[in-house]
Amino acid sequence: MTKRQTCYNCAMDGTMYAQVAIEQVPGQLFTYAAPGGLGVRVGQCVTVPWRRVYRRGYVVALAAECPYAPRRREAEQEELFGGAPAKGVKAIEAVEDPLPYFSEKTIALLRWMAAYYDVGFTLALRSALPAPVREGRSQARERFVVAPILPPPPRLPPLSKRQKALYEDIVRVDGGLLARLCEEFKTTPATIRRLAAMGYVSCERLEAPRNPLAGRRILPSRPLPLTPSQARALEAILAADRPTLLFGVTGSGKTEVYMQAIAKTLEEGRGAVVLVPEISLTPQTVSRFAARFGGQVAVLHSALSDGERHDEWHRIRRGQARVVVGPRSAVFAPVPSLGLIIVDEEHDTGYKQDESPRYSARDVAVMRAHLEGARCVLGSATPSLESWRNATELGKYALARLPERVGGAALPAVSLIDLRQAAAPGQPLPLFSPPLIDALRLRLERGEQAILFLNRRGYAPTYQCAACGEPLRCPRCAPARLTYHAKDDTLRCHLCGHWERPPTRCPACGAPLFKPLGAGTQRVEQALAKILPQARVIRMDADSTGRRHSHDELLAAFRAKEADVLLGTQMIAKGLDFPNVTLVGILSADRSLNIAYDFRAAERTFQLIAQVSGRAGRGVLPGEVVVQTLQPEHPAVAAACACDYERFAADELALRRAQNLPPYARLATLTFTGEDPAAVERAAREAAHALGRFPGLEVAPPLPAPLERKEDRWRWQLLIKAATAQRIARACHAAIPQERRLGPGPRALLDVDAVFLA
């Protein structure tokens, strides 16, 4: 039989043949008959027989003739969708929902993503669905909904005085959930159902979506007048035929430009997605967009309950919400007729997924906009050097500038403090320099607020023996040190979660004395209470925000001026807008400069200082920034304090060009992990030898990863450089056996366009 012949086992009127991805069977795509009576469409969720059970799957392609190819790998199915016919093609059992879960454009995006990052299509598809939707952990919730019948039909039974009062109350609030009405009017379900039986109200069991914004007081807002630079930026975004890099200083009104671009998109009958890098930014951002666009806004992020994520995703899919706000996974939101994608703080490393598939939401957003014919806006005061080069050297992006703050507010004055000179002779470095203490006291006297930034949580990052100087390390991760947390008197590993009580004696020398070294946010909070006991402090880090809604509650308390100082880690470094904050203190500006293996250290340091500094002076009051550092002469520190991004970008790009580093080359890490260190090393060396045969690749010799062991798994790493990411992905796909990715032995983890090299 030839390739185009139809399988005689499946020949039936109206039958199509579907390529189906089954989530529980990664690495393979399957062909099923799709009987005409089911009306199967691309993107639908279906039930299919697999071995002796039924599984959920997703239709990713349809063909008119049988492309049966039993148990082919995904890559082969991509090429051979239309293979040799064979007996026993099974049929799709049922279609779970007639409305597709994926559009054909989204499937095209996932195919691109699978090829670009060299992951299986099924794995790419998993990343596009929230777990509650994918795993069926939550179902649509149904509630009894009461509605008054107006006007009441004639000849109804008369109401008693109490029934009449209850009916009037229901009319006044226009009905609602049965349980809520009973609580509000101090009545019982039976009483309201009696009104329904009499014909005065209806009481029906209806689907009641869970609303993440329920109970939040959001006042409507109207579009603000645009400054001339904002108006030019909006015009450039709407007219651009390519992605637009919106380069605006902190406080320049980028969000207002975003919202007016969304309004234009909605007028065109299309939807929008707004990406933010941190979940901590989501509540504030959602409130601003909900105030402008009301019930059209949906929110998607992992801090929602399973039910909320389930209902919000399906609300988006049905077109009931046309504006979606969320972190990186929201880039896959099933918005019908997508017209605009906004990536706020596009430089942020939070957009890079740290587990397979290791995609960059920023890059996926650019590709999705291209496939959907949508506009794409990348906004930042400190753009990534990749985006800056695309806009200024290559012309791939349009460039729109917002060079001044809204309302004529000035950028904050910056003081650079050399901690080496602030320390007394023979004394350790102080947590607070005298100028910073004086500035904090002044804000307390004026009733203004301050933000203190230290990107290190816990009490002390090192717990060291006072006798031999040996630090206590994590038994599961190397060379990770245990961080001391004074609040619960524990030593914790921030990589794997291991914790233990501080030992009474040093494991190395037996000495009974230990001393905590360095400072984390807990220690700073304690020291601040001694220096300024009258100051009310909110600490915001991963330890204080573990509870649901805690981000929102802490920021709301600070906005309501229930605290004088907001002390936090990177989650307070960007996106926050508090008009009463007139002082920002950066306690250790150069910590990120000391990562020897990270060629992006200077870029990260510049971005962090500039972004944190931008939180000051955003209202009518002038702002001040105090930057404490041990390296005041470093170009990144000096440029950030001068708010001179373009000077920094020019100098740093010249260095990258000379060393052939991103963005002038593409870089990937290939990390091998396993429990047997010898087997891991051997697998890494075999891969390096295999990749060395591919032209155009620069493969560094395999070495133990900077984080040599994590969660009891040893790690070896290769750095791979090439002119294009596609060249790296294709070489790794050909050189690394499938069992190295999914098998029980040493596993290969490829990170294309790697952001973190540990």
Transcribe 27-38 into DSSP letters.
TBEEEEEE-GGG
What pLDDT does residue 163 have?
Answer: 93
Burial bucket for residue 147 (CB in 10 Å: 0-12, 13-18, 19+): middle
The conformation of residue 65, written as its DSSP 8-state character, comes to S
Contacts for 101 with CB less than 8 Å, ≥ 6 apart: 43, 44, 45, 58, 129, 133, 317, 334
Output the CA–CA distances (angstroms, integers) from residue 325 to 230, 290, 346, in the order listed: 22, 10, 15
Nearest alpha carbon to residue 575 among 385, 414, 381, 405: 381
Q: Tell me the two tokens of residue 632.
A: 């005041």
For the chain, domains (ranges, CATH) are: 16-101 (3.40.1440), 142-207 (1.10.10), 228-407 (3.40.50.300), 413-458+521-655 (3.40.50.300), 460-518 (no CATH), 666-752 (3.30.70.600)
What pLDDT does residue 141 have?
Answer: 67
Burial bucket for residue 257 (CB in 10 Å: 0-12, 13-18, 19+): buried
Contact criterion met (CB below 8 Å) for 60 and 29:
yes
What pLDDT does residue 434 have?
Answer: 94
Report how far residue 181's alpha carbon sits from residue 188's, in angstroms, rounded to the nearest whole number.
9
Contacts for 87 with CB less than 8 Å, ≥ 6 apart: 7, 9
- Side-chain half-sphere CA neighbours of 558 within 13 A: 26
Output the CA–CA distances (angstroms, integers) from residue 413 to 254, 471, 612, 741, in the order listed: 22, 40, 13, 52
What pLDDT does residue 281 have?
Answer: 76
What pLDDT does residue 8 have?
Answer: 37
- Side-chain half-sphere CA neighbours of 652 within 13 A: 29
Per-residue pLDDT tens for 4-35? 333 434 444 467 899 999 988 877 889 999 98
Contact criterion met (CB below 8 Å) for 309 and 130:
yes
Neighbour count for residue 47 (Cβ, 10 Å): 14
User: Most distant CA pair in the chain: distance in Å?
Assistant: 96
What pLDDT does residue 546 have?
Answer: 79
Report how far residue 444's alpha carbon sits from residue 582's, in angstroms, rounded to the nearest whole number.
11
Contact criterion met (CB below 8 Å) for 195 and 166:
yes
435 three-state secondary structure: helix
* Residue that has been written with the tokens 């607020």 in this structure: 449
Q: Are strands 713-722 and 323-326 parallel, antiparallel or unpaired?
A: unpaired
Q: Which residues of 298-315 are buried (b: 16+ CB within 10 A; e: fewer)?
A: bbbbebbebbbbbbbbbb
Q: Tell me the two tokens of residue 530.
A: 């001694």
485 three-state secondary structure: strand
Nearest alpha carbon to residue 114 among 443, 356, 438, 319: 356
Burial bucket for residue 753 (CB in 10 Å: 0-12, 13-18, 19+): buried
Number of H helices, E strands in the chain: 23, 31
What pLDDT does residue 741 have?
Answer: 74
Report how far residue 70's alpha carbon sits from residue 28's, in angstroms, rounded to the nearest whole number.
10
Contacts for 530 with CB less than 8 Å, ≥ 6 apart: none
Regions of the chain short of the pLDDT cut 70: 1-14, 67-88, 137-142, 208, 214-215, 596, 739, 742
What pLDDT does residue 80 have?
Answer: 36
Nearest alpha carbon to residue 384 among 456, 278, 277, 282: 277
Q: Are strands 45-50 and 53-63 parallel, antiparallel or unpaired?
A: antiparallel
What pLDDT does residue 401 have?
Answer: 97
682, amino acid identity: R
676 three-state secondary structure: coil
Strand partners, 471: 464
Report how far residue 286's alpha carbon sits from residue 292's, in angstroms, rounded to the nearest whole number.
10
